[in-house]
Each structure stands twice: as C-alpha cells, then as structure tokens.
C-alpha cells in the first residue's frame, strides 16, 4: 500500500506541474492551437496522472549496475557477520532498548507512511461512493421528471449526417431548461420542455450527438476518476475544469465547421440562450 501511494504521489506532482504550466501557457495555446488539439493536450495530462510511465522504461542498465554491485555487497555482509559468542557471556541478556515496541511496529510496516496511504485510500473510496450515489440519484430524478419522445424525424436526420447508427433515446425533461447527454452504455438526450423552433432543436441535436461521437462522456468519466485518485490535489480539479471547457469548445467548433454563416448565427444564439437559462437556474 505504501508503494502504491508513493506512485500516486509522484503522479500527482507530475500532473500538478503540467497543469500549472499549461494554465500559464493557455493564452498562447488558445491563439496558436486548434480547439481539438487543446482538448487532446489536457486529456494527455489526465492520462499521465493515472499511468506511471517510468515503469515502462527499460531497466537493463539498472540491472547491470546491480549485478556489478552485488558481489561487493555480499563481501561486505560476510565481513560484518558477528563472531561467535564467548561462553562466558552465553547467559547474558541485553537490556531492551527504549522505544523497542515502536521500532518493532515500524519494522512490521505500521508506520506513519502506511497511515497516510490508508487515509488516501479511504478518501478515494468516499469520493467514488459519493460520486456514484449522486449520479444514480440524478439519473433517477431525470427519468422520473421526463417523458419519452419516439420517432423524431429531425433527430434521425442529424444522426445520418453524423453517421451515427447507435440507438440513442430522447426524453423531454420537465425539470431542466438546458439539454444534456447522459449515459455511456445507454445514452439518452434530455431536451427541455420549453418550446423551441425546429432549427434550434436541430442545432441542439447536432451539439449533443457530436459529444457522443467524440466520446466526451467517457473522457469526463476518466477525469472524474482522476479526481477520485488525486482527491487531495487541488490541481486535479483545475485539470477537470479545463478538460470540460476544452471539451465544449471543441464540440462547438466541430459543429459549426461546415455550416453556413446563417446556420452559425443560429447555433451561437441557441448556445447563448441555453447558457442564459442555466445561469438563471443557478
């Protein structure tokens, strides 16, 4: 457990440094890199906080050094073996050193480092439990306050445009003013119950289906897991916020890429309207 936490701590330091550096370079990257590349850069930092890449470096040189060093170690150990005890002192028992119980505890592995490792593990478990519980409650609430929408020709048209064959359900939500895509295994798009013109609804479908096509839900879950593993690191939450922001920007840029000027105007108005509704509900 101690070694596992040590690895996590090293990964957390690497992620914190990379997040701080990218945050400082953000004004430069926004101007010179596409939105998709910005998204991939933040995503690569997320992966780096989970994968101990140094373990994949060949250890051939380290093994050669160990083989060269091993004979001298053995000789040193042979030279430091204690001599046989004098018979005059066979009945002598040394007085136990002070704090011997503490030393034994450390030798048995029950040290402060292990306690920190178990606190980290408990924190990760609590984080994942709360996240899974709140998400389950959220899904149950959304399903309870929504009704299914079947056979929508506009939705099918957008799916054909994006070449999506997966079955994705639509539900009309009574408790939200902004659309959203939820569910990785069984994706559902929730639409607000407030009426909107046909063109605006089509833009909403394009936005949410583009999220699905890019696998953004899976990436967000990966980011959530990084937050759980590095719950003690504030830079992990900053990384998550940047991933979510770059995800939305990359989605918007992908949607308007081949649009006409009038359609782009309609799309931006639709997005701004959804943002204003969200701010009113906060």
Q: What is the pLDDT along the chain (282 residues), one digit of tens a residue?
A: 788 899 999 999 999 999 999 999 999 988 888 988 999 999 999 999 999 988 776 766 545 544 554 554 444 455 555 445 544 444 444 555 444 444 444 455 568 888 999 999 999 999 999 999 999 999 999 999 999 988 889 999 999 999 999 999 999 998 877 889 998 889 999 998 775 678 888 889 999 999 999 999 999 999 999 999 999 999 999 999 999 999 999 999 999 988 888 888 888 888 887 777 666 665
CA distance 156 to 124: 41
Residues 6+ apart with CB under 8 A from 135: none
Considering only CA atoms, give the Rg of the chain.
Answer: 29
The whole-angstrom distance between residue 48's C-alpha and the CA centroid of its chain comes to: 10
- Note the pLDDT of residue 7: 93
DSSP H helices, 145-260, are 153-161, 198-214, 216-229, 234-256
- Note the pLDDT of residue 88: 44
CA distances 68 to 63, 77, 259, 273, Å, are 9, 15, 67, 70
Phi, psi dihedrals of residue 170, rounded to the nearest 5°: -120, 135
- Note the pLDDT of residue 75: 47
CA distance 228 to 123: 8
Of 158, 274, 273, 254, nearest in space to 214 by CA = 254
Of 39, 11, 17, 33, nearest in space to 243 by CA = 39
This prediction's pTM: 0.77
CA distance 255 to 39: 15
Cβ proximity of 251 and 200 under 8 Å: no
- Sequential DSSP letters for 183-201: -SSS-EEEEESS---HHHH
SS (H, E, C) 27-77: HHHHHHCCHHHHHHHHHHHHHHCCCCHHHHCCCHHHHHHHHHHHHHHHHHH
- Going across the sheet that includes 188-192, the strands are 146-149, 169-173, 188-192, 180-182
């Amino acid at each position: 457990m101690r070694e596992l936490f040590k690895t996590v701590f090293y990964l957390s330091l690497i992620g914190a440094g990379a997040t701080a550096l990218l945050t400082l370079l953000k004004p430069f990257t926004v101007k010179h890199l596409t939105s998709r590349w910005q998204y991939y850069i933040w995503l690569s930092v997320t992966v780096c906080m989970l994968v101990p890449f140094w373990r994949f470096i060949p250890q051939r040189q380290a093994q050669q050094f160990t083989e060269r060093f091993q004979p001298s170690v053995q000789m040193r150990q042979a030279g430091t073996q204690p001599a046989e005890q004098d018979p005059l002192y066979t009945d002598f028992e040394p007085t136990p050193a002070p704090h011997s119980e503490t030393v034994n505890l450390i030798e048995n592995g029950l040290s402060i480092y292990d306690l920190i490792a178990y606190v980290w593990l408990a924190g990760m478990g609590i984080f994942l439990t709360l996240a899974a519980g709140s998400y389950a409650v959220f899904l149950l609430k959304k399903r309870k306050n929504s009704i299914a929408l079947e056979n929508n020709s506009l939705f099918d048209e957008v799916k054909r445009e994006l070449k999506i064959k997966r079955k994705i359900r639509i539900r009309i939500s009574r408790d939200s003013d902004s659309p959203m895509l939820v569910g990785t295994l069984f994706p559902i798009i929730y639409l607000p119950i407030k009426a909107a013109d046909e063109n605006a609804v089509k833009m909403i479908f394009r936005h949410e289906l583009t999220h699905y096509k890019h696998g953004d839900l899976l990436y967000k879950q990966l980011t959530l897991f990084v937050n759980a593993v590095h719950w003690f690191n504030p830079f992990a939450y900053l990384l998550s916020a940047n991933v979510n922001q770059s995800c939305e920007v990359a989605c918007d840029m992908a949607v308007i890429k081949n649009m006409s000027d009038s359609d782009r105007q309609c799309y931006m108005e639709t997005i701004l309207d959804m943002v204003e509704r969200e701010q009113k509900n906060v």
